Structures are given as structure tokens and as C-alpha cells.
Structure 1
Amino acid sequence: MKSLTKQLKAKQQANETIFVPYIMAGAQGLNQLADEIQLLTEAGASAIELGIPFSDPVADGPVIQAAGLRALENKVTLKKIIQQLKQIKTKTPLVIMTYFNPIFSYGLETFIHDLVKTDVKGLIIPDLPYEHQELLTPLLNDSDISLIPLVALTTPKERIPELVESGEGFIYAVAVNGVTGTGRNYQETLDEHLAYIQKVSDKPVLAGFGISSKEHVERFRKSCAGVIVGSKIVQLLSEGKQTEVSAFIKEVVSN
């Protein structure tokens, strides 16, 4: 069992809320990345998801897209992020969220070879279909890096067990149809959908997309192990409101 799976399962078994904040690496400049990781760690993050800026981010809403554009304007690249991560030591598992194109451009083997020299323990690739995972899985087999599956609201019910069985770390349950962002309305059947995913998964299920309040977290904790929060965190950091980020995380994970 890989370390990300082990750490998050321990939290799930202890009935602790698993909270994974998302940040866009380099949005405030790469020199701020270590401080942002430390801030989130001290606030009680279970893991930290690091977005990689990309010119065509199909899953990202306006707040995260804007952060990605700021990072690109700062000349931030996947290679520069990994070089920075090699210098950062943290007890909190890091999870990279990127699209397949930057990895392909980097070189698949070189990418994984460089990644194992960092504290990155998970990988999320929204545009890599399950049927094409074998492009990466052989390279990850001997590493401590988990390939995290996404399950959408539109995923056929009979396909879900197959997806969760192949995944490591946690199961990313997309809570809305569409892109990331705050202020989203959730379907009435969502809680039943999440509960089913958690029932068939032996890994923690985390809900993501549109989660921006303590009330959202409390709602989702009734049917799965925790949440991923992106746009709210990214927006607050872009406004220099680190204290509010810390207070929000502490409030949520204390329940």
C-alpha cells in the first residue's frame, strides 16, 4: 500500500475529516510555494493538491484559470515547479494535478524519475482516460506515487467499481457537472452517488468542485471521507488573505 493511501485511510478510520486544499503552483510566484505549503500544513491539511499551469485547462473554472494565467505570466513551467519541489521538505503529502500534455512534453519517464525526488505522493490527470492509464502505471509501480482516479456524476454506475479498484491514494468524486468554482448548486442525487462510491471503494472518497463553506464540508462528510477545496483557497491566497485560509481549514478539520 502506498503511503498516501495509508495516511488517508488512517484518518478515515479515525473518523477525521480529510481536507485537501488546492493551490495553483506559481500563481503568487514560485518563491512563495514553500511558504504556501507550510501555511496549509500548519492549518491541518491532510494532503495538498498542486495545480500545474496549462494553457487549455478544461476542468478549471474562472478563479483557477486566472491563477494559472498569472503563473504562466510568471514563466512558471512543470519543470520549474519540480525543481522547486526538490528543495521543499514537508510532512504533508503533495499531489500534483496536471493535464497530460505537459507530462508528455516533459517526457513520461523523465517526469516520474524527477517526481520521485520530491515529496509528491499523488498524481491527478483529469484528461487521461482510464483506458490509457497504462501509459503511466508501469512507470509508477515501483514508486510511492499514487495515480488518483476521478469519478464523475456521469460515470455509469457499473463502471465505478472498476475505476476505484485501479486507483490509489483516494478517489476524487467530482460533485458537479462542469468546471471548478464556488457557488455551485448540487444535484439531489449527489449524496446517494457519493455514498455508493464510498461503499464500493476501500480507499477514502473525497468530494471536489464547488466546495467553499463549512456547511458544504459538513454535508459531504455524511456520505464520504472528506473534501477537496480549490477556488476558495486560490481566491483568498490571490488576495493575500493567508490568515483567512488558515482559519477556514482549522475550523473545518476540527469537526
Structure 2
Amino acid sequence: MSRIDAKFAQLRAEGRKAFVSYVMAGDPDYETSLEIVKGLPAAGVDIIELGMPFTDPMADGLTIQAAGQRALDGGQTLEKTLDIVRALRKVDNTTPVVMMGYYNPIYSRGVTRFLSDAREAGIDGLIVVDLPPEEDSELCIPARDYDINFIRLATPTTDNARLPTVLQNTSGFVYYVSVNGITGTAAASAAAVGPEVARIKAATDLPVIVGFGIRSPEAAESIASVADGCVIGSAIVAQIADGKPVSEVLSFVADLAAGAHRA
């Protein structure tokens, strides 16, 4: 059983929803980023999404674009991103870590080398937003050989004809994008999200986690109540961008996690 599967089994047994946090690796610098990542589990984070900085983040809003640029300007690399996970694994061997980003850095490193290094570092899953199901042979299917889940995005435009293709090789969980567009824009609505989550869950046994447009404990509770959990990224990254001390960032995360866990 993967760490992701084990986490969802634990949450089901406890009757709780999942809280997933996104942070950009290397933002605002390597040491601060590492301190934040190490503090996330104690703040109530069930699964960590760790962004891979990339020069052309097409699906990201301004907040996460800026975070990626800060990280790159500070010298963050794919190797240093793996190093953050390696360091986390020295103190936490149970919290799942999902790397999220784009295919170019992985392709540049070489798929086989990347998957081997990711497995060794302690990565549990991948979200690669610019690889559609038609390209599963590039990374999704090879990841199976390394016991790394490939998590697919479903969106409001993923209709019933397209959904089986999206779900075909997905594992770990399904990430439902609650709003059309890029990260950090419109607010998510439980009334709109609930029926879509139910539609997806009718087609898969995988947990469905909802992200985009969730910025407060109240919103986390509302969205998690109609799904298996929620993801918050831009709101956390904005705290880092504002130069908040690590303790304040983690306190903010703890409030968000408490909201999701009330659902």
C-alpha cells in the first residue's frame, strides 16, 4: 500500500476529510522552503503537494507564477527539490508527497533517471499538468514501475465522454479543478462542486480532492464537505510572498487544515 493509499485509509477510518497543501519548492529560498515543508505535517497537512519551479507555468496564476520565479532566481533546481523531500524523509516517513508541475524539467532530466531519483527521494505521486492521457506512455505508465502514483486533473469541462479516458491510468486520487481557468482566480462553490464530485465518484473508486479557488478555513470546510478533501495553494503561497515568518505561515496552514477537518 502506497503512502497515499495508507493516508486515505487512515482518514476514512477516522471519519475525516483530507487537507492537501501546495507550496513551491525553493520559495522564497531553499532553507525557508525546507523549514515550511518540514512543518506542514504538524500543522495538520495530510498530503504535501510540492511545486517544481518552471519558467513557463501555463496553468498557474500570478501568485504561483511569482513563487516559481522567486525560487528559480534563488537557484532552485529539480535536484534541490528532490533534496527537500530527502530531508523531509529523515524526519517523516509517512506523510505523502506529490510533486506538481510541468513535463519539461522531467523530460530534460530523463524519465527513467527522474523516476528512479524520485522514488529514492521518497516521492509518492506526480501531477504533471501538461501531459494529457494521450501521452500516458511518456510518464504515467512508466511511473507504475516505480510505485509512483500519477494523479490526473478533472475539470468542469471534463464531460462524461472524456471522463473514462482521464481516469484510465489515474491512481492515488483524482484532483478536481473546481473552476475554469488558472490557479488563484475565482472562488470555488460547494453548490457547483458537489454534483461534479458525485459524477466523478460514480465512475471511480479513487478519492476526489478539490482544488482551485479555496482561500479560507470556511471555504475549506465547505468544499471538503462535498468531496474527500481539498487542496489549498495560492492562499498559502501568498503568505510566503508577503514575507510572513515560518511560524505565521504554518499557523495559517493549521487554520485551513482545521477547517477541512471539520467537514
Question: What's the CA shift for 1:119?
Answer: 2.0
What is the TM-score of this pair, normalised by structure 1? 0.92
Gaps of 5+ in 1: none
Question: What's the CA shift for 1:100?
Answer: 0.7
Give a deviation string over 1:183-217, Cα, whole Å, max 9, x none. 52649643211221123221110001111122222
Give a deviation string over 1:206-232, Cα, whole Å, max 9, x none. 001111122222222332101000001
Q: What is residue 51 of structure 1 aligned with on the other side?
A: 51
What is the alpha-carbon distance in structure 1 between the residues aligned to residue 87 and residue 114 of structure 2? 16
What is the alpha-carbon distance in structure 2 between the residues aligned to residue 202 and residue 47 of structure 1? 19
Q: What is residue 16 of structure 1 aligned with on the other side?
A: 16
Question: What's the CA shift for 1:86?
Answer: 2.4
Q: What is residue 251 of structure 1 aligned with on the other side?
A: 258
Aligned length in residues: 255
Gaps of 5+ in 2: none
| 8 Å Cα contact 1:8-1:170 kept in structure 2 | no
Aligned CA RMSD, in angstroms, stands at 2.0
Calculate percent identity across the aligned residue pairs: 35
| 8 Å Cα contact 1:12-1:225 kept in structure 2 | no
Question: What's the CA shift for 1:14?
Answer: 3.6
SS at match of 2:156: coil
Is 1:201–2:201 an aligned residue pair? no
Is 1:150–2:181 an aligned residue pair? no
What is the TM-score of this pair, normalised by structure 2? 0.89
Q: What is residue 25 of structure 2 aligned with on the other side?
A: 25
Q: What is residue 104 of structure 2 aligned with on the other side?
A: 101
What is the alpha-carbon distance in structure 2 between the residues aligned to residue 158 and residue 224 of structure 1? 22
Question: What's the CA shift for 1:87?
Answer: 3.1
Distance 1:129 1:254, change over 3 A: closer
Is 1:237–2:207 an aligned residue pair? no
- AA of the residue aligned to 1:50: L
Distance 1:243 1:129, change over 3 A: closer
Give a deviation string over 1:122-144, Cα, whole Å, max 9, x none. 10001001110111234322323
Q: What is residue 217 of structure 1 aligned with on the other side?
A: 220
| 8 Å Cα contact 1:100-1:125 kept in structure 2 | yes
Give a deviation string over 1:120-165, Cα, whole Å, max 9, x none. 1010001001110111234322323100011011112232234234
SS at match of 2:88: coil
What is the alpha-carbon distance in structure 2 between the residues aligned to residue 208 and residue 250 of structure 1? 14
